[in-house]
Amino acid sequence: QVQLVESGGGLVQAGGSLRLSCAASGSISNINAMSWYRQAPGKERELVASISNGGNTAYADFVKGRFTISRDNTKNTVLLQMNSLKPEDTAVYYCKAVILWIGRRYDYWGQGTQVTVSS
């Protein structure tokens, strides 16, 4: 089992910045990759950024150049630095951990943190 707790959301003006944090606990040694997703009202949940155990990163086109995902293995934490925020970035942001174990994939989700960007 893996438990994920997000924090760092809040209300900011357009052009501002926020840093989200996802703290992992439990069977963290089995985590293969971690990702950030977001879901806005009336929209489906979408992938924002991901980072593998080897440190490879990937970003959605709509955040590339503005957001940075990183991981602190010592603290079992993944971060999402969000700069140049836009009103369309408003959403609940979720952290996901992926575990690959004995031929099966397990996904674990945090409860989310609200990000609101005003125009």
| Interatomic CA distance for residues 110 and 81, integer angstroms | 18
DSSP 8-state assignment for residue 43: S
Tokens coding 105: 């994939």
15, 85 contact by CB (below 8 A): yes
- For the beta carbon of residue 97, count every other beta carbon within 10 angstroms: 24
20, 26 contact by CB (below 8 A): no
pLDDT digit string (tens) for 5-60?
A: 999 999 999 999 999 999 999 988 888 899 999 999 999 999 999 999 888 999 99
* pLDDT of 73 higher than 80: no
pLDDT of residue 49: 98
Mean pLDDT of 70-74: 82
* Residue entry with tokens 């925020």: 85
pLDDT digit string (tens) for 97-107?
A: 999 888 899 99
